[in-house]
Structure 1
């Protein structure tokens, strides 16, 4: 918070009411020049931010802004001007921190940090080097107005010669001081490689702000670049310092959240089969896309006596560690029931429902279990509130008709008839969870139609490979293809797909 002397007592209700409602970020966007600017390259901060916008700027950098006010002979005018500047600065910080608080991923938060900091210090380009302590999160470098090649050029400079390197590799102080290089080419002690890179990228000054607090520790450094010799004035340094401390705490929370999600993803993978069995007459492939919240989607495949094969997919309600634990218990129980009475899928699911109702009465689950005899190309399956399998080949692509049934744990006694079908040679049976349908973002009927169209469009050359079939279907159905597995949306759910190709 800005220091306001306690003896300054001015009624400013009318003053605050007269403030312009347009914030600094919106003002910057509205005043952005069209085309290539001639005398200035960055829109100046409006007066509502308490920053004088009449100071001329360089070709690509908003120059340092002077904190000058016109003396007034009216009593109290100077105090009201200073108080107006403080109120405007607080409004600006509130707007910028609110925008940062809405970010839910590290990448979005780093980009927002660069944009807000550039507006506060009067620059247009910058970079963030995030290097949290070992085990706390991934390291990354993000640029503003800099291409990947530009960031690569900067990284060729000896680390000890860069301002971010001196901060990150310096003494382990809880709050390192910012580093300002007001005139790079006027500094005779400048590293030759840094001078060469600065001339190539067209910047002549920089301001580096440590991303460090006592609570969060040292997480990284944000650096903004000026095209001509310049540096932020005292008030700009104060504002960006306050914003940087808030940003550091926000980044620390996102790093902790990202680490927790990665751990849950590892646990989920460990609870699923490490490898699929080899059974004559059938080939298997599985795909699992985890969501940020960690869900209870699962699959299983296990060899059974007399050359048979058991296939299962399912989902438990809820998310997080409790859902993962329930998923692990349910999958282990189904394996036991499948070994004892796998040739009767209805009995397997009935036993599973009884176990779920007795041990976890507040939780429900969907499941599908199929008993396969590859030598006879015969499949008998039963489902409990689960999506129907999809069978696809060169001659047909259709959903297997299953009877309607409630999920496990929803009724006092679950039971539904089984269905039997025979895949033709070269056909693939796709078992999947409803998380796949919800990831499409479409209504259920349209999601089913999209899934059917994707399976029907599998190239002929790929139809004999269950892994290729599964990948093609996922690329066609999901809005961002398989790339969404690396960076899923905040609300994306777990999904699994199990593909069985019959000879």
Structure 2
């Protein structure tokens, strides 16, 4: 009498290949070291003449399916916790290696839409190793055939023994011998349809669909993944591709916003006799409204400005560009009166951006006299850094632009000594520290006072030292909602 076919249980499809592993019963009183392993148990059950009840078979299959589902759940949970494309690619490589039993591998990201980014990430492979693999003709590599759109089976491309293949490309044979791998298994990474980011009104569709790239895992000896391993790896790859498509779209958005913000800022700082200039700009993933400017003015003068527009994202970046362009025009017309420049800017902001406010600092610099006339609207005071003093410049207290019906505040004038540097910055430098305002200002002052003597002649080194000291441990380059701007002006 034939045993009944196992039915679907809890949504598990019984047509999925049976797991190769099984849980072996432990003999009472036997130590774990002497207990038979899963392979031994499978051999006993599969031995001719061995009794195998339908219930035991079903229980064995259920145990295998539960184990596989648990493994996939854990690996996908780790994947969704990745927040950047590079982290996601590394996690896919690690998870795939665990599923197919490999030690090394690489992912080649090459979206079919041609919008990039194109990159290669390795697991257990140094940059030089990846360079050697890239010297192999693309058509001779399994992932190259995937990227070129050639037909690929549902289980990917398996090369169980490279050196046994008669038609193996000579260069591929040479590289494989050099790097010490003898077999490979490749899977396509393809996101079908469109994914979504966010929920509700903030939900947007991702544009990175279709082929994203290919992943290949390398074996040190001739080997190939089993049927069950290929099945699990394929399930994981399909889910991972959707997640990578979302991360790819986020990466593209960040790159676009960074490019837009950089294009709206000075492409290079002017060369003006008597002063040296340097700047630093760090923007968040969504793009922000912090900006800086330095422009030559009539009578060998120099206009210096930093500012910040409220909000983030494309609208804030666009508002920042409009505000900076307007300030340049006002500075050319009446730059010797910084109060008039900011008054005009405030009127423009109130008329054209009624729902937005901004902080700004504008200085009329006369390099020959080492003198700066300064006006500020809700902005942090500049920092004067010299051999004998490190102090904040006293400025008048004023509301940000757009906060009052009519803005006006007195200007201040100060003079620097030869070799001193004036540091202008935006509030994002202080906010990124996470400290209260008084402690953040104290940290900034200590960082400026601690600039090494050998670096004080270089405004670029001064700005870099202050940035890395105030924001240590990668805070300066980490994703943040706060933009950071520093503009260093050294008087000769």
Same fold per superposition (TM over 0.5): yes
Q: What is the Cα deviation at residue 175 of structure 1?
A: 8.0
Using the size of structure 1 for normalisation, the TM-score is 0.79
Q: What is the Cα deviation at residue 327 of structure 1?
A: 0.3
Q: What is the Cα deviation at residue 140 of structure 1?
A: 1.7
1:293 to 286, 297, 316: 286
Question: Counterpart of 2:267 in 1: which secondary structure?
Answer: coil
Aligned partner of 1:210 in structure 2 is 188
1:344 to 331, 337, 353: 337
Aligned partner of 1:489 in structure 2 is 478
- Alignment partner of 1:372 is 2:372: no
- Alignment partner of 1:249 is 2:238: no
Q: Distance in 2 between matches of 1:393 and 1:91?
A: 62
Q: Distance in 2 between matches of 1:316 and 1:333?
A: 14
Q: Distance in 1 between matches of 2:363 and 2:239?
A: 54
Q: Distance in 2 between matches of 1:127 and 1:279?
A: 50
2:167 to 189, 202, 206: 189
Aligned partner of 1:82 in structure 2 is 61
1:391 to 384, 390, 397: 384
Aligned partner of 2:487 in structure 1 is 498
Q: Distance in 1 between matches of 2:5 and 2:165?
A: 43
Question: Counterpart of 1:375 in 2: which secondary structure?
Answer: helix
1:405 to 393, 398, 409: 398
Q: What is the Cα deviation at residue 248 of structure 1?
A: 1.7
Q: Distance in 2 between matches of 1:317 and 1:6?
A: 66
Q: Quick one: structure 1 residues 201 and 377, their matched pair in 2 at CA, closer, same or farther if it must change by over 3 Å? A: closer
State how 1:87-98 maps to structure 2 within 5 Å. Answer: 87-98=66-77
Q: Distance in 1 between matches of 2:377 and 2:93?
A: 50
- Alignment partner of 1:469 is 2:447: no
- Does structure 1 retain, via aligned residues, the 8 Å contact 2:104–2:125? yes
Q: What is the Cα deviation at residue 9 of structure 1?
A: 5.7
Aligned partner of 2:142 in structure 1 is 163
Q: Quick one: structure 1 residues 309 and 89, their matched pair in 2 at CA, closer, same or farther if it must change by over 3 Å? A: same
1:357 to 334, 350, 355: 350
Query: Would you say how many aligned residue pairs link Structure 1 and Structure 2?
Result: 449
Unmatched 5+ residue regions in structure 1?
13-48, 55-64
Q: Distance in 2 between matches of 1:10 and 1:160?
A: 44
Question: Counterpart of 2:376 in 1: which secondary structure?
Answer: strand
Q: Distance in 2 between matches of 1:9 and 1:144?
A: 38
Q: Quick one: structure 1 residues 184 and 414, their matched pair in 2 at CA, closer, same or farther if it must change by over 3 Å? A: same
State how 1:38-437 maps to structure 2 within 5 Å. Answer: 51=21, 70=45, 73-74=52-53, 76-133=55-112, 135-171=114-150, 178-215=156-193, 216-437=209-430
Q: What is the Cα deviation at residue 176 of structure 1?
A: 7.3
Q: What is the Cα deviation at residue 441 of structure 1?
A: 4.9
Using the size of structure 2 for normalisation, the TM-score is 0.81
Q: Quick one: structure 1 residues 83 and 326, their matched pair in 2 at CA, closer, same or farther if it must change by over 3 Å? A: same
Q: Distance in 2 between matches of 1:198 and 1:52?
A: 35
- Does structure 2 retain, via aligned residues, the 8 Å contact 1:50–1:86? no
Q: Distance in 1 between matches of 2:166 and 2:152?
A: 31
- Does structure 2 retain, via aligned residues, the 8 Å contact 1:287–1:497? yes
Which region of structure 1 is more displaced relative to structure 2, 318-327 or 404-413?
A: 404-413
- Does structure 2 retain, via aligned residues, the 8 Å contact 1:301–1:311? yes
- Does structure 2 retain, via aligned residues, the 8 Å contact 1:379–1:421? yes
Which region of structure 1 is more displaced relative to structure 2, 249-258 or 99-108?
A: 249-258
- Does structure 1 retain, via aligned residues, the 8 Å contact 2:302–2:365? yes
Q: What is the Cα deviation at residue 382 of structure 1?
A: 2.0
Deviations 1:103-128 (A, max 9, x none): 12121011100111111112222111
Q: Distance in 2 between matches of 1:6 and 1:421?
A: 90
Deviations 1:144-184 (A, max 9, x none): 1222333333334333322222222353x598761111223
Q: Quick one: structure 1 residues 113 and 51, their matched pair in 2 at CA, closer, same or farther if it must change by over 3 Å? A: farther
Q: Quick one: structure 1 residues 195 and 270, their matched pair in 2 at CA, closer, same or farther if it must change by over 3 Å? A: closer
Which region of structure 1 is more displaced relative to structure 2, 419-428 or 400-409?
A: 400-409
Q: What is the Cα deviation at residue 251 of structure 1?
A: 1.9
Q: Quick one: structure 1 residues 316 and 11, their matched pair in 2 at CA, closer, same or farther if it must change by over 3 Å? A: closer
CA RMSD of aligned residues (A): 3.2
Q: Quick one: structure 1 residues 314 and 79, their matched pair in 2 at CA, closer, same or farther if it must change by over 3 Å? A: same
Q: Quick one: structure 1 residues 147 and 336, their matched pair in 2 at CA, closer, same or farther if it must change by over 3 Å? A: closer
- Does structure 2 retain, via aligned residues, the 8 Å contact 1:50–1:88? no
Deviations 1:347-376 (A, max 9, x none): 332332233233223222111111222333
- Alignment partner of 1:452 is 2:445: yes
Q: What is the Cα deviation at residue 51 of structure 1?
A: 4.7
Q: What is the Cα deviation at residue 457 of structure 1?
A: 3.4
